[in-house]
Amino acid sequence: MGADASDLSLVRRVQRGDKGAFDALVLKYQHKLVKLVMRYVRNPAEAEDIAQEAFIKAYRALPQFRGDSAFYTWLYRIAINTAKNAVVSRDRSPIEYNIDRNSEESYEMQGRMKDSETPEALVLTDEIRSIVNAAIDALPEDLRTAIVLRELEGLSYEEIAAAMDCPVGTVRSRIFRAREAIDRRLREVFEGGLGRAEELG
């Protein structure tokens, strides 16, 4: 088991011309990247635009990626640079709004107007979160501990096995079963409301 073997196998496929493999990398890292960019810009819609630009830059630069560092580390650097450049260029040419900037209330409103979040999209995100949390609460304790240690604490299977005093194979199985249980609940939302919310968003 090599570190970053999963990403590297997808990266190699993209380098050989398989664009579908790049979709998988974007799906895996889009939330992390948006979260990262939001350190530089507070507006979620703007953060998404910058993350999108970072992914496109990464795709174009992928022939030069040799795997000396982990793919996410490389992507992280691209995203940081893209975010910094976006902040600099935005500061150089601020967008003018017909709102009185002297008023604190108006300034707050300007922030909301820049945010393209629709109420439906916000509701959907909240709904997904509450479904995932409810599904985690309903899990047997060993499955819940395994998935939380993995996703929240970022521990490896080996570390979780040591913490839970069980074989690595058991950890793998527990995490998979936890994901499956949550996924069953989540699938209903994705297959039902997500498409409609995306159209609106």
Partner 1 sequence: MNEELDSQLSAMFDDELASAECELLARRLSRDVELKARWERYAVIAAAIRAERGVRLNARVARRVSVIVGSEPALAGQSAPRRRERRWLRPAAGVAVAAGVAAVSILWLRAQAPPGTVVATPPLAAVSALRVTTPAVVPAASSRPSGSDSYVVPPAARGAAAIVPATELANYVVAHSMFSSPVARRNLLSSFMTSEPGEAGAIPLSTDSAQDLPRDAKSSAQ
Both tokens assigned to 150: 């993995």
Q: Is 108 in the site for partner 1 (CB under 8 A)?
A: no
Neighbours of 11 (CB within 10 A): 21
Q: Is 144 in the site for partner 1 (CB under 8 A)?
A: no
Are 152 and 184 in contact by the 8 Å Cβ rule? The answer is: no
Among positions 40, 62, 114, 159, the unique one binding partner 1 when judged by CB under 8 A: 62
Alpha helix ranges (H) inside the chain:
5-15, 19-37, 44-61, 71-92, 104-114, 119-137, 141-151, 157-164, 168-189, 195-200
Among positions 30, 110, 145, 170, the unique one binding partner 1 when judged by CB under 8 A: 30
Q: Is 74 in the site for partner 1 (CB under 8 A)?
A: no
CB of 183 to partner 1, least distance (A): 5
Among positions 78, 87, 121, 166, the unique one binding partner 1 when judged by CB under 8 A: 121
DSSP 176-195: HHHHHHHHHHHHHHIIIIIH
Q: Is 145 in the site for partner 1 (CB under 8 A)?
A: no
Q: Is 137 in the site for partner 1 (CB under 8 A)?
A: no
Q: Is 27 in the site for partner 1 (CB under 8 A)?
A: yes
- Region from 86-94, 97-105, 106-114, 174-182 binding partner 1, contact rule CB under 8 A: 174-182
Size of the site for partner 1 (CB under 8 A): 80
Q: Is 87 in the site for partner 1 (CB under 8 A)?
A: no
What sign does the dihedral 32-37-43-49 (CA atoms) show?
Answer: negative
What are all long-range contacts of 18-27, with beta carbons under 8 Å and residues at least 24 apart? 22/59, 22/62, 25/71, 26/55
Residue closer to partner 1 (CB basis): 136 or 163? 136
CB of 96 to partner 1, least distance (A): 25
- Helices 5-15, 19-37: crossing angle, 10 deg rounding: 120
Q: Is 68 in the site for partner 1 (CB under 8 A)?
A: no
Q: Is 18 in the site for partner 1 (CB under 8 A)?
A: yes
